[in-house]
Amino acid sequence: MIGNTMFSGLFLAIEQLGDPRIRGVIIRAVLISAALFVGLMFAAGWLLSGLSVFGLSWIDSAVSFLGGGAAFVIGLFLFPAFTGIIISFMLEEIASAVEARHYPNLPAAREEPVMEMVGNAVRFTGVTVFLNLLVFILVVPIMLVTIVLIPFIPFVFYALNGYLLGREYFEFAAVRRLDPAPGRTLRRQFRIRVFMCGIAIAVLMTIPFVNWLMPVVAAAYMVHVFEGVRGRAAGA
């Protein structure tokens, strides 16, 4: 069965990026993210244009120019985050495309209530942002002070995000076929597999430009992982 090996689903997910339905999600997400990026630039320009800190026009102009450059750089770094948040509201479409191509004999997916769908997307975004901020605000400074722990910073980052991404993307795939409680039970039963798949996603999400596509790949990947472990659990 597709998805029986831990990472086979990852290659299948990458291979399906050319699927018209998947490509449509990517294009829409990038266009919306680009619109948000342009809006951010206009807002930053408007705020900085009226800025008068030192009362000297040339200094204020320099500050405005540097501030605009900083806003541009920050916007570039946030662009993948914008894309990921937007794609989180299109995950259903991605999963449907994967199932239609690789699992055509599955019955109709469980109809997830709109509020549950929105709640899952918001929870996923909120938990991920909060815990990463917590790591950088609390854990990283402690490690930097204790020099011997500096080499462990990447391991903390990938372990945390591997757990978060594995859990959230797996449960997204699971709730299409199972009620939330059985979906969580299945994840716990295969926690190591889901965690390792989450680490693979986290590593790829730190690669520039690749990270723009990773929310789509991760959603497709976890459909394969879910179907694989569901088959194993049923055959156990």
User: What is the distance between the terminal CA atoms of the chain, rounded to a whole angstrom?
Assistant: 15
Q: How far is CA 41 from CA 27, 36, 64, 65, 186, in A?
A: 21, 9, 12, 12, 44
DSSP string, 217-236: HHHHHHHHHHHHHHHHHHH-
Residues 109, 176 contacting (CB under 8 angstroms) = yes
pLDDT over threshold 50, residue 195: yes
Question: Is 215 a residue whose pLDDT tops 70?
Answer: yes
Q: Which range among 52-66, 101-115, 197-211 shows the weakest confidence by mean pLDDT?
A: 52-66
Chain-centre distance of CA 18, in angstroms?
Answer: 20
pLDDT of the residue at 2: 43
CA distances from 169 to 68, 143, 146, 218 (A): 36, 29, 34, 7
Find tokens 């769908």 and name the residue.
117
Does 75 score more than 70 pLDDT?
A: no
| Domain boundaries of the chain, sorted by first residue | 8-235
Distances in whole angstroms, Cα of residue 108 to Cα of each of 28, 94, 99, 105, 153 = 25, 15, 10, 9, 43
- Residue 209 has what pLDDT? 78
pLDDT tens digits for 138-168? 666 766 677 777 777 788 888 888 898 899 8
Q: Give 209 or 162, the one with higher predicted confidence.
A: 162
